A and B are shown apart, each in its own frame.
Chain A
Amino acid sequence: SQQGEEDPQALSIQEGENATMNCSYKTSINNLQWYRQNSGRGLVHLILIRSNEREKHSGRLRVTLDTSKKSSSLLITASRAADTASYFCATDWGNQFYFGTGTSLTVIP
C-alpha cells in the first residue's frame, strides 16, 4: 500500500494548547499536503509544502518536511474548539495522490 501513516491516531488537548501530528510516507514526493475533515464532511485544504521546502507557515499552522526521513509534521498553535476534526497528510508523486491514516484531534473547551 502506498498509504502513509500518521501518529498519533487520536489526540485530545485543552483549548489554547498546541497540537502536533506527524506523517510518515513511503515514496518520493513532489509535494505533501495537509487536509482537515470535519465528521461526515468533505476535505478542506490546509497547506501545501513542496519537496524542496523544509518549513512553511500559514496562520496558526506550521508544517515541516524532512524528505530524508520521509516525514512531515503539522503543528497547530493556540488550538480552538473549532479545530476539532480529523487531519490527513497526502503525498503527491507522479500524478498519484495518497492519504495518510489520519489523526483525530479533539480540542476540549
Chain B
Amino acid sequence: GAVVSQHPSRVICKSGTSVKIECRSLDFQATTMFWYRQFPKQSLMLMATSNEGSKATYEQGVEKDKFLINHASLTLSTLTVTSAHPEDSSFYICSARDPAGGFTDTQYFGPGTRLTVL
C-alpha cells in the first residue's frame, strides 16, 4: 500500500519558537493532504486540508496564522507551528489520498509527530 512519512517523529522546543513538520507521500502523488491534531486520550481532530498549489482550507477554530500549511509539491506538505506555546503540545498526524484510487479510496496516514513545547 501507499506510504506516508512524517518528519520529525518527535520534537521538543522552547516556547516562542516555530516548528516545521513535514509530511511526504513516498510512492504516490497526493494532490490533497490532511493535517490532524490529537490530544492525549482524545480523537483526531481535522485541522486543515492542504491542496497542492493553493491555499489550505482550515477547519473552524483553527488559526491559520498559527498553523501555516504549505503544499508546494505533489509529495510534500509542511505544517509550521508558529510561536509555539505549551498548549500547542500535541500529536500531529498527516494523511494523504492516493488519487489513483478515486475519492472513495483509503486515506494513508503518517506515523505522527509528537510536539512538546516547554
Contacts and interface: CB of A to CB of B under 8 A. Distances in A.
B111 A42 contact: yes
A101 interface: yes
Contacts of B106: 33, 45, 48
A97 B95 contact: yes
A40 B113 CA distance: 10
SS class of chain B's interface: helix, strand, loop or mixed? strand
Contacts of B110: 42
Interface residues of B, number: 24
Contact of A97 (B46, B111, B114): B46
A35 B43 CA distance: 11
B70 interface: no
Contacts, number: 54
A3 to B, nearest CB: 7
Interface in B87-104: 91, 93, 95, 97, 103-104
3 nearest A-B residue pairs (beta carbon): A42-B111, A43-B109, A99-B44
Interface of A: 2-3, 30-31, 33, 35, 40-43, 45, 48, 50, 88, 90, 92, 95-102, 104
8 contacts: A30-B104, A42-B111, A42-B112, A45-B108, A48-B106, A88-B43, A88-B44, A99-B44
